[in-house]
């Protein structure tokens, strides 16, 4: 008995007409001897509405202090998880209307266990015996994404985009042959098609490349979901939910590197405008300075990315530049300012009009000259590089945000990714 898990996001189930289309897509995937489970998100806009309701009830924005997190987060999860539960029932009804046996499964019925970190829980265990027997008997299982329950049976949520993680975790637990993620795009592209009209849909991409693209700003899948697929070796296919059954819809298959045929040097170009550059001038040239600075930033939950250290003009001083998400910039600066005298920092500058542009490809491991091509392409367009970060399969540069689209187009062409 083979098994398949399908996942549909909020835009895919945005109204009853779209849910009817999803039901037709699910019906087209039913085959004799194959069990089928479907994970759904809340209807488009519903989670945002529920978030505002929860915050309003807790006093956020009113003329009184909001509830502290310890008194808010658990009931917040109860409220915002309601949207997915509605979607499961609606899709089950739409499938039954087509004559297909279907039932909704809430997470306490499976159960779908997580740790107790409300609003950002991680999947701990899924007891698949009962739901597995049901889908093997031919009943389509409809499961709410984005949520689970703790060992003490409290509802949790997995954070934004958590339905992707739910689907892949369920596929791993059911030992499914594949997890199909249906979205509002028809696959993973070499870059954002809104910027580069010649961007190409990729037929296959390695887990590592998909993970790098997701973490570097590409709107592919939630980063945690790709990490889970990588760890559990679950084949993942990304495809469009707006294609009627029977029409071509090949999507993009994410798979282990050893299942990828010919490896391109560069598979894609990603970018992120959610960046800030923090410059620390005149830091004490002491062996403990870096540990002190980045230890304090970690304690403040600031996610640091690129780091560059140079000698300052003054003796026994150095300058340190690092980047972080724009939303963390003020907190990062405040953290350093609070310990300025202890660390020995003379000045702190924040720059927000920057962007990170990256090239990704598993073929880099065995190819020389990849960085030269990148730097030459940017130089030809007059784009200055402010910081550089590398890994085995990616090179990222920090540039002036005004040149983001120009840089993406130049690099896409330089690495031969333009569609013919």
CATH number at residue 368: 3.30.2130.10
Rounded distance between C-alpha atoms, residue 100 and residue 94, angstroms: 9
Looking at the structure, tell me whether residues 21 and 147 fall in a common domain: yes
CATH of the domain at 109: 3.40.1160.10
Say what the pLDDT of residue 62 is: 58
Residues 52 and 159 in one domain: yes
Give me the phi and psi of 13, to 5 degrees please.
-115, 30
pLDDT digits (tens, 9 = 90+) for 120-174: 899 999 999 999 999 999 999 999 999 999 999 999 999 878 999 999 999 999 9
Domain closes at, from 144, 166, 184: 184
First-residue to last-residue Cα distance in the chain: 42
pLDDT above 90 (res 351):
yes
The secondary structure element, H or E, covering residue 341 is helix 340-343
Alpha-carbon distance of 385 to 58, in angstroms, equals: 46
Cα–Cα distance measured from residue 420 to residue 407, given in angstroms and rounded to the nearest whole number:
20
What pLDDT band is residue 64 in, cutting at 50, 70 and 90?
Answer: low
Over the stretch 169-219, which tens digit does the pLDDT of each residue have?
Answer: 999 999 999 999 998 888 999 999 999 999 999 999 998 999 888 888 777
Q: How confident is the model at residue 258 (pLDDT cuts 50, 70, 90)?
A: confident
Percent residues over pLDDT 70 in the chain: 98
Question: Can you name the residues that pair with 178 across neighbouring β-strands?
Answer: 4
- 8 A C-beta contact, residue 211 and residue 204: no
- Residue listed under structure tokens 């779908």: 112
- Cβ(268)–Cβ(301) under 8 Å? no
> Binning pLDDT at 50, 70 and 90, where does residue 417 land?
very high
- Measured CA angle at 265 (ends 263, 269), to 5 deg: 115
Tokens of 263: 């490896």
- Give a yes or no: residue 294 inside a domain: yes
Q: Are both 55 and 172 inside the same structural domain?
A: yes
Supply φ then ψ for residue 157, to 5 degrees.
Answer: -120, 155
Reported for 414-420, long-range contacts at CB under 8 A and 24+ positions apart, including other chains, are: 414/373, 414/374, 414/376, 414/377, 415/265, 415/266, 415/269, 415/359, 415/373, 417/190, 417/191, 417/198, 417/199, 417/200, 417/266, 417/268, 417/269, 418/196, 418/198, 418/200, 419/198, 419/199, 419/200
**Number of domains present in the structure of the chain:** 2
Q: What are the backbone dihedrals phi and psi of residue 166, each rounded to the nearest 5 degrees, phi first?
A: -55, -45
Residue finishing a domain among 164, 184, 204: 184
Total-model pTM = 0.84
Residue 8 inside a domain? The answer is yes
| Residue 256 binned pLDDT confidence (cut-offs 50, 70, 90) | confident
143 forms beta bridges with 39
119: left (phi over 0), alpha (psi -120 to 50) or beta: left
Whether 95 maps to a domain, the answer reads yes
Q: Do residues 145 and 276 share a domain?
A: no
Task: Give me 48's structure tokens.
Answer: 């945002």
The answer on 154 and 39 residing in a single domain is yes
Tell me what the pLDDT averaged over the chain comes to.
92
Residue 61: predicted pLDDT? 64
Do 10 and 105 fall into the same domain? yes
Model confidence at 415, pLDDT cuts 50, 70, 90, reads very high
Give the DSSP H or E segment for 211: helix 207-215
Structure tokens at 235: 């084949």
Same domain, 176 and 286: no
- By residue range, what is the domain housing residue 174? 2-184
| Domain membership flag for residue 236 | no
* Helix (H/G/I), strand (E/B), else coil: 356: strand
In the numeric block, the tokens 């008194």 are attached to: 71
CB 357 within 8 A of CB 399: yes
Residue 395 vs residues 44, 173, 222, 356, 358: alpha-carbon distances, Å = 35, 35, 21, 10, 6
Please indicate, yes or no, if residue 240 is contained in any of the structural domains. Answer: no
How far is CA 404 from its chain centroid? 21
Cβ partners under 8 Å of residue 102, min gap 6? 91, 92, 95, 96, 139, 140, 141, 142
Asked if residue 355 belongs to a domain, the reply is yes
Are 172 and 301 part of one and the same domain?
no
Residue 166 tokens read as 């739910």
- Report the alpha-carbon distance of residue 413 to residue 403 in Å, rounded: 16
Domain annotation covers residue 165? yes
Average pLDDT over residues 400-405: 97
Task: Name the nearest CA neighbour of 108 among 71, 152, 69.
Answer: 152
Are residues 149 and 279 located together in one domain of the fold?
no
- Which of 134, 161, 184 lies at the terminal end of a domain, its last residue? 184
Q: Are residues 166 and 275 in the same domain?
A: no
Percent pLDDT > 90 in the chain is 74
Instruction: Report the DSSP beta bridge partners of residue 6.
Output: 38, 180
* Measured CA angle at 147 (ends 144, 149), to 5 deg: 115
């Amino acid at each position: 008995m083979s098994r398949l898990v399908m996942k549909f996001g909020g835009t895919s189930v945005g109204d009853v007409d779209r849910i009817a289309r999803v039901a037709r897509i699910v019906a087209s995937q039913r085959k004799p001897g194959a069990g089928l489970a479907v994970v759904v998100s809340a209807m488009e806009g519903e989670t945002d509405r529920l978030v505002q309701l929860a915050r309003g009830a807790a006093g956020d924005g009113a003329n009184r202090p909001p509830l502290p997190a310890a008194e808010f987060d658990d009931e917040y999860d109860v409220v915002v998880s309601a949207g997915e539960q509605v979607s499961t029932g609606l899709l089950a009804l739409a499938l039954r209307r087509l004559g297909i046996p279907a039932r909704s499964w809430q997470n306490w019925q499976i159960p779908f266990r997580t740790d107790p970190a409300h609003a950002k829980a991680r999947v701990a265990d899924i007891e698949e015996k009962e739901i597995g027997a049901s889908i093997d008997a031919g009943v389509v299982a409809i499961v709410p994404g984005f949520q689970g329950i703790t060992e003490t049976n409290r509802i949790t949520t997995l954070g934004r985009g958590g339905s992707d993680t739910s689907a892949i975790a369920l596929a791993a637990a059911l030992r499914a042959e594949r997890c199909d993620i249906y979205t509002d795009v028809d696959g993973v592209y070499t870059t954002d098609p809104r910027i580069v009209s010649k961007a190409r849909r990729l037929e296959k991409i390695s887990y590592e490349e998909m993970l790098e693209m997701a973490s570097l700003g590409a709107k592919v899948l939630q980063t945690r979901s790709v990490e889970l697929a990588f760890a559990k070796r679950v084949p993942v296919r990304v495809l469009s939910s707006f294609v009627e059954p029977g029409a071509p819809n090949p999507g993009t298959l994410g798979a282990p590197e050893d299942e990828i045929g010919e490896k391109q040097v560069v598979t894609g170009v990603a970018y992120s405008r959610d960046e800030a550059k923090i410059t620390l001038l005149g830091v004490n040239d002491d062996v403990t300075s870096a540990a002190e600075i980045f230890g304090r930033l970690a304690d403040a939950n600031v996610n640091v990315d690129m780091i560059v250290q140079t000698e300052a003009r003054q003796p026994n001083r150095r300058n340190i530049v690092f980047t972080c998400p724009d939303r963390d910039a003020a907190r990062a600066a405040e953290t350093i300012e609070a310990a300025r005298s202890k660390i020995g920092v003379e000045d702190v500058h924040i720059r927000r009009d920057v962007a990170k542009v990256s090239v990704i490809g598993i073929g880099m491991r065995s190819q020389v000259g990849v960085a030269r091509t990148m730097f030459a392409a940017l130089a030809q367009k007059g784009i200055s590089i402010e910081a550089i970060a590398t890994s085995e399969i990616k090179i990222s540069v920090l540039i002036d945000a005004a040149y983001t689209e120009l840089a993406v187009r130049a690099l896409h062409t330089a690495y031969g990714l333009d569609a013919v």
